[in-house]
Amino acid sequence: MLEPSDILSLYYTSLYSGDLSTVKELMTPESYTMTLETFGLRLSLKDQEFKAVLKKIKEDEDALTEVENKLSYDLISRKVSPEIDIKSVSWNGEKRQTIDYTEDGKTKKLYFSKEKDGWKINYYAGRKVV
Amino acid sequence: MNTNNIENRRSFLTKMLVAGASGVALLSTSAYAKKDTTDTTVVLTEDQKDMLFYIYQEEKVARDVYITLGNIYTNENTFASIQLSEQRHMDSAKELCEKYGVDTSGVDEDAVGSFVLPVLQELYDTCVGEGETSLLDALKIGELIEYTDIEDLEHAAEGMPEDVVAVYESLKEGSLSHLDAFQTAIERA
């Protein structure tokens, strides 16, 4: 089972190499959808057709596949390869962790929750659970 | 989404509040979040508390985008006036967090344009990048942000207790006003 610190590195390398199938495996479903919607925003502002398809990804598998394909190319074209430096790992509860790190020197956090199939990135898991 | 659709949604949500309907499950977040009550005290589920915290962080994106674009388009008053309103939105969202014991200390409100969550940073960067192109594009970004906020607040409110729904409804009304302001400014630009 991958630990959050492993997932963090894999998240960045997968995301910016356009490997969204791996990104999907590293996240909860809700966080993956948010990732597609947010990182797809730039494309949707320039491409009305993509924008229309992006709106349907939650309920349409074909739309999801189309978005993933187009977004994958877009992410690769950004030629981003940030330097990641983990600063600390903290527990927010029995099944939650937060990793504090820097991305090209800028302070960042990623939240993780322990799901049935292992640790996953979970954007909603930033709150400390007593 | 068009304005008629949003007006219909405004009317629908108001009816929900009046009827006391609170049994609708959250859609985009969790299928199993529900409201529990202990005597007269409302207790949120863990998922619902998570949602409070996330909404608070997301409100900062809108505020920060308007601050940044307002600093670029200094002759356009829309950004300056709406950013003040967005600060109040953040304050309301933060108060809800504090009311339900959600720790908000990890969010640095003074760091404009800086977000610890990569997905929110991406959202901010994309909005500002697009808005830097022209005033019209910046105003359209404002319009988009408000549409998105309204949708997110509606989803976030589903299944929540009445006090949370009331706050989110108030925030949504604010976003509707902001939307009107941006659309007026777009026509003028």
Total of domains in chain A: 1
In B, which residues are within 8 Å of A129 by CB distance?
Answer: 46
Fold of B44-188: Ferritin (1.20.1260)
CB-based contact B54 A30, cutoff 8 Å? no
Q: What is the ipTM of this complex?
A: 0.84
Residue A130 is part of a domain; what is its CATH number?
Answer: 3.10.450.50
Picking from B28, B50, B114, the nearest residue to A127 by CB comes out as B50
H/E stretch holding A10 reads helix A4-15
Domain region containing A17: 1-130
Residue showing tokens 């609170």: B22
CB-based contact A38 B122, cutoff 8 Å? yes
* pLDDT tens, position by position, B4-40: 444 444 443 333 333 333 333 233 333 333 445 444 5
CB contact, 8 Å: A88 with chain B?
Answer: no
Helix %, strand %, coil % of chain B (to 5): 70, 5, 30
Q: B98 to chain A: nearest residue by CA?
A: A127
- Six token digits for residue B168: 């989110």
pLDDT tens for chain A, residues 1 to 130: 899 999 999 999 999 999 999 999 999 999 999 999 999 999 999 999 999 999 999 999 999 999 999 999 999 999 999 999 999 999 988 899 999 999 999 889 999 999 999 999 999 888 877 6
Q: Band of the pLDDT at B47, cuts 50, 70, 90? A: confident
- Six token digits for residue A17: 């190499």
How high is the pLDDT of residue A130?
A: 66
How close does chain B come to A33, measured CA to CA in Å?
9
* pLDDT tens, position by position, B65-102: 999 999 999 999 999 999 999 999 999 999 999 999 88
